[in-house]
Amino acid sequence: MKHEDVFNPDCQVRLVLDRIGDKWSVLVVLALRDGPRRFTGLRTTIGGVTPKVLTQTLRAMERDGLLTRRVFAEVPPRVEYELTPLGLSLHAPIDAITDWAEAHLDEIVAAREATT
């Protein structure tokens, strides 16, 4: 079977789950959907993220080959982040999740209130 090994704690698919699950990566992918963005642009688009955490997220995604970081030697400094093809391909699973969420959120909320 296909997903059998997922139950192995060392399965590498877990790495992807962890990344998708982290609080900001998905939002970064969505924010970069329509092309490159600058640091402050991302920061204001994505509500409530501090510069430290945004930097951490971007660096991690860069390490994983999901996006590129381009520095322009200008004053004031300019840095642009852009999804790689690999990062762009993440939209497929992400859309699957957000679509599901939008389709079924009312059911979840209803179930929660039923328990109240």
Partner DNA sequence: CTGTATCCTCGCTGATACTG
Partner DNA sequence: CAGTATCAGCGAGGATACAG
Beta partners for 83? 67
Asked if 17 and 25 count as a contact pair (C-beta separation under 8 A), the reply is no
7 vs 74 by CB, closer to a second copy: 7
Q: Which does 56 bind (CB under 5 to 8 A by kind): a second copy, DNA, none?
A: DNA
CB of 61 to DNA, least distance (A): 12
CA distances in angstroms from 30 to 18, 50, 52, 98, 112, listed in the order given? 17, 18, 20, 11, 28
Region from 50-58, 71-79, 98-106 binding a second copy, contact rule CB under 8 A = 98-106
**Contacts with DNA, 20-39, as mask; x by CB under 7 A:** --xxx-------------xx
Non-local CB neighbours of 82 within 8 Å, separated by 6+ positions: 32, 35, 36, 37, 67, 68, 70
At 67 the three-state DSSP class reads strand
Q: How many residues bind a second copy (CB under 8 A)?
A: 50
3-state secondary structure of 70: strand
Nearest-approach distance from CB 92 to a second copy, in angstroms = 6
**Contacting positions for a second copy (CB under 8 A):** 2-3, 6-9, 12-13, 15-18, 20-23, 26-27, 30-31, 33, 45-48, 63-65, 86, 89-90, 92-93, 96-102, 104-105, 107-112, 114-115
